[in-house]
Amino acid sequence: MGESGDESSKCDIIPQVPNDLKPMKGQEFSSLDEVLEFYNAYAKHRKLKNQGVVVRYCSWHILNKFSEKLDVVKYSVYYKEFYYCIWNSKSKEEFDLVWLELVQRSGLQDNKWLQSMFEIRLKWVPAYTRHVFSAEMTSSQRAESSHSFFKKYVGEDNSMVDFMVQFDRGLQKQRHEALIADNKDVIEKPKLKMLNDILVQMVDIYTNEIFYKFQNELLESFNYKFQIIEH
């Protein structure tokens, strides 16, 4: 028998999820690890897929590993060249060429760690990842932001009680600053440097801080001119 041409008879079967794995309103967790474990299990049962999700490795942490994976002499002589190669290569081809030449010249062809890093370069080298939208936020920036927060409130000699008190104080300060910023966005309207329909619209969409960044970029774009070149 032939297949039915009635598309209305077809439907997607939604996987059933046990009640104890369903997210509930007001649900609380004791740790971030518990949150991750719970939602991973939920996604697995729902057969959810991370469409469009790109996994990247932290370049900052990989660069920190160079001092461990290279001997002292090689590290002192060649680290800056590796750093320049990683951050200043404009294209994939340029990175590959410079990296392989540098590995050859430094005599590190047999370094297993460097070999493994080159094999996964698609996941951490900027020349391979800059096409992926990340809102100008890298994993290293997120790590540095966390480090900066803890350095302000926590020291090496703090006891567990001190840590809890200082951490709570830091969170309260963040909430206070967020409330001030929110109040400022409600009361104060950004000043337009020119009357422009796009800017007028963005005033009601962006926060003041983001609006001023957008306005400056828009004004800078007016400095560019198109010129028709005849061949």
44 plus 96 within the same structural domain: no
What global pTM score does this model have?
Answer: 0.45
Q: Is residue 136 part of a domain?
A: no
Cα distance between residue 150 and residue 152, in whole Å = 5
Q: Is residue 70 part of a domain?
A: yes
- Look at residue 119 in the predicted model and tell me its pLDDT: 92
- Look at residue 7 in the predicted model and tell me its pLDDT: 43
Residue 168 DSSP one-character state: H
Cα distance between residue 42 and residue 23, in whole Å = 8
64 plus 49 within the same structural domain: no
47 plus 75 within the same structural domain: no
Cα distance between residue 185 and residue 48, in whole Å = 37
DSSP string, 45-76: HHT---TT------HHHHHHHHHHHS-HHHHH
- Look at residue 195 in the predicted model and tell me its pLDDT: 85
Structural domain count, the chain: 3
47 plus 68 within the same structural domain: no
167, 153 contact by CB (below 8 A): yes
Cα distance between residue 51 and residue 26, in whole Å = 27
- Look at residue 61 in the predicted model and tell me its pLDDT: 82
- Look at residue 133 in the predicted model and tell me its pLDDT: 64
31 plus 76 within the same structural domain: no
Q: Is residue 76 part of a domain?
A: yes
- Look at residue 145 in the predicted model and tell me its pLDDT: 62
47 plus 87 within the same structural domain: no
Q: How far from each other are the two terminal CA atoms of the chain, in whole angstroms?
A: 64
80 plus 113 within the same structural domain: yes
Q: Is residue 4 part of a domain?
A: no
Q: Is residue 211 part of a domain?
A: yes
- Look at residue 54 in the predicted model and tell me its pLDDT: 62
Could you state, in chain order, the average pLDDT of each consecutive group of 10 residues for the chain (231 residues)? Answer: 43 60 76 74 67 69 89 92 92 95 94 93 87 60 63 76 82 82 76 87 86 90 81 69
- Look at residue 47 in the predicted model and tell me its pLDDT: 63
Q: Which residues of 29-51 are buried (b: 16+ CB within 10 A; e: fewer)?
A: eeeeeeeeeeeeeeeeeeeeeee
Range of the domain at 32: 16-53
Q: Is residue 177 part of a domain?
A: no
122, 132 contact by CB (below 8 A): no
Q: Is residue 26 part of a domain?
A: yes
Q: Is residue 38 part of a domain?
A: yes
69 plus 116 within the same structural domain: yes
85 plus 107 within the same structural domain: yes
24 plus 84 within the same structural domain: no
95 plus 33 within the same structural domain: no
Q: Name every residue whose Cβ is closer than 8 Å to that of residue 23 and which is 6 or more positions away in sequence.
A: 38, 39, 42
34 plus 66 within the same structural domain: no
Cα distance between residue 46 and residue 150, in whole Å = 37
Cα distance between residue 69 and residue 86, in whole Å = 16
